[in-house]
Chains A and B, each alone.
Chain A
């Protein structure tokens, strides 16, 4: 019984590890170590809930745990997030690839949002979740989730207006 549980859990973790790590990285504003810690903690929580949620929606469970842990960890400790006028570690042009530079710019922009705004933007535009599920994951009313997402997008628009070119 325990082996069956471990096998199913390991399969899920191996299949979703990369995606979960990317979500966690977006939620933490590009902090890779903190993103790995968050994914690890979320998967540990999932292990104990696995008999209940394995047949239902384990990914939704992990996503909700990730979002709430990211918001809680941002409240609890100082992770070096501080809104500034000038980004201190702006990558120098030319020494990294364009993809890495684009990702770094995005993560830096996300890091300037509040945890709730960041989570709402990530769930809405990366996970492509409807507003009701975003609100459920954030643990707040739909209107509040919509407000977080719109304010986050407005802030990102202001930050990234010169970085994102229209798809042509």
Chain B
């Protein structure tokens, strides 16, 4: 701080004169406080009124917006699943034969009592002979299974084994 700054500081302090705080200053100050308090209350009341008005308008408009939105939502609702419109995809097709492999009649379907008469291997069974409940996939699986070779020996169903009474462990004890 140089001389000028010191002198400037002294000059600022020396030029201060005492001004008493008189009652009129106090009255004026408190009048200003009251005026400021009133203006603050008015601002608060006005702000509250604006907030309440905005909230009321919002609440009044909200039901209208909801009812306006409901029909659009109803139009987008999907059709019920029980609609009786038939679709061709879901209907079973019996008259469309699978052209790829011709199903060979499995040998097991031959009568069990056939005597060596071999069935021609190329014989095809028309698809109409399938049971309507059989699905195409099942028929494909049936064609993939290896057909048992036609046996010349008659395949007879073995008679049921005679019921042999096993000796019970308790027999000897009887």
Contacts and interface: CB of A to CB of B under 8 A. Distances in A.
Interface residues of A, number: 33
16 contacts: A13-B25, A14-B21, A17-B19, A18-B18, A18-B20, A18-B21, A19-B16, A22-B17, A47-B33, A48-B40, A99-B14, A106-B15, A125-B8, A153-B4, A157-B4, A166-B3
Sort chain B's interface into a size bin. Answer: 20 to 34
A125 B11 CA distance: 10
Interface in A29-48: 40-41, 43-44, 47-48
B76 interface: no
Interface in B14-62: 14-21, 25-26, 28-29, 32-33, 36, 40
Contact of B29 (A13, A26, A102): A13
A81 interface: no
Q: Interface centre among B8, B9, B14, B36, by most A CB within 10 Å?
A: B8
B166 interface: no
Q: Which 3 pairs across A and B sit closest by C-beta, in order of nearness?
A: A103-B15, A17-B21, A14-B21
A160 B28 contact: no
B12 interface: yes
A42 to B, nearest CB: 10
B115 interface: no
A44 B16 contact: no
Contact of B12 (A18, A47, A125, A167): A125
A160 B26 CA distance: 37
Contacts of A153: 4-5, 8
Contacts of B36: 44, 47-48
B13 interface: yes
Given A21-B19, A99-B14, A153-B4, A44 B9 contact: no
A21 B25 CA distance: 12
B2 to A, nearest CB: 9
Given A14-B21, A17-B21, A40 B7 contact: no
A122 interface: yes
A153 B21 CA distance: 32
B6 interface: yes
A19 B5 CA distance: 21
Interface in A95-129: 99, 102-103, 106, 121-122, 125-126, 128
Nearest to B30: A6
